[in-house]
């Protein structure tokens, strides 16, 4: 039986879900190729994936890379299998990156573009979630309570976090009732003091003046 016939036989066995016979056909086809044709390792690895025999599929994927380092298919298969294995996502990403460094740029099958797309998708999945602005999820009363643990200088720095923070802190007079410039490292402009008084609704209870510019 020719290699092409063995391949077709293996595909027919797959359609019939006779996976053990499919494995035999693809193995025989691969053994008959010289030099080794990784097409049949890829087909066999796909069958192992269906059987959830990921270790065997991974072994074939690694063999594909060893026999054809500039062919994207080995990296695609290996990374795909690794993604199905628990705790192997980062290793899969490493394989994608290795493939992008190794595969020829003139890849005509479009597998290089697929390699890039899958690498980018996995990179996004592994990226840490975007930080959440606590002002958007916490009650104002709780934020107010948290702010009480900050000294005056830290409180002023919070004004610079974002426009949202600036507006919120501007609307909390109680936070500005104690004007403490004792930690000021540079001269303080009178205009800043006036803004603090405005934020407190002119109800400053305590004022510690330091480095106030004339």
pLDDT tens track for 48-98: 999 999 999 999 999 999 999 999 999 999 999 999 999 999 999 999 999
- Whether 41 and 113 share a structural domain: yes
Pick the more confident residue, 41 or 204.
41
- Last residue of a domain, which of 126, 154, 177? 126
Establish if 214 belongs to a structural domain: no
Provide the 8-state DSSP code for 175.
Answer: G
- Whether 15 and 114 share a structural domain: yes
Average pLDDT of span 144-172? 87
Q: Is a pLDDT exceeding 80 seen at residue 13?
A: yes
- Domain total in the chain: 2
- Whether 18 and 108 share a structural domain: yes
Residue 153: name the closest of 198, 210, 194 by CA. 210
- Last residue of a domain, which of 97, 126, 155? 126
Average pLDDT of span 179-193? 87
- Last residue of a domain, which of 91, 126, 161? 126
Please give the pLDDT value at position 76.
96
Establish if 147 belongs to a structural domain: yes
Residue 61: name the closest of 74, 50, 73 by CA. 74
Contacts of 146 (CB under 8 A, 6+ apart): 138
Domain span at 183:
134-208
Burial class (CB in 10 A: 0-12, 13-18, 19+), 116: middle
- Whether 38 and 112 share a structural domain: yes
CA distances from 82 to 45, 49, 61, 151, 182 (A): 12, 11, 10, 50, 58
């Amino acid at each position: 039986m020719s290699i092409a016939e063995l391949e077709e036989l293996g595909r027919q066995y797959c359609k019939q879900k006779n996976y053990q016979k499919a494995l035999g056909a693809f193995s025989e086809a691969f053994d008959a190729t010289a030099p080794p044709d990784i097409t049949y390792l890829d087909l066999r690895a796909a069958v192992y994936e269906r059987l959830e025999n990921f270790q065997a599929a991974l072994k074939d994927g690694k063999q594909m890379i060893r026999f054809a380092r500039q062919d994207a298919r080995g990296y695609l298969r290996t990374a795909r299998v690794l993604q199905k294995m628990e705790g192997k996502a980062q290793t899969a990403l490493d394989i994608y990156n290795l493939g992008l460094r190794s595969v020829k740029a003139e890849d005509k099958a479009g597998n290089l573009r697929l390699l890039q797309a899958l690498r980018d998708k996995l990179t996004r999945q592994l990226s840490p979630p975007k930080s959440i602005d606590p002002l958007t999820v916490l009650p104002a009363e709780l934020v107010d309570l948290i702010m009480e643990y900050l000294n005056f200088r830290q409180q002023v720095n919070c004004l610079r976090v974002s426009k949202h923070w600036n507006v919120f802190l501007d609307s909390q007079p109680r936070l500005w009732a104690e004007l403490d410039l004792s930690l000021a490292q540079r001269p303080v402009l009178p205009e800043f003091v006036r803004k603090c008084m405005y934020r407190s609704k002119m109800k400053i209870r305590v004022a510690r003046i330091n480095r106030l510019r004339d």
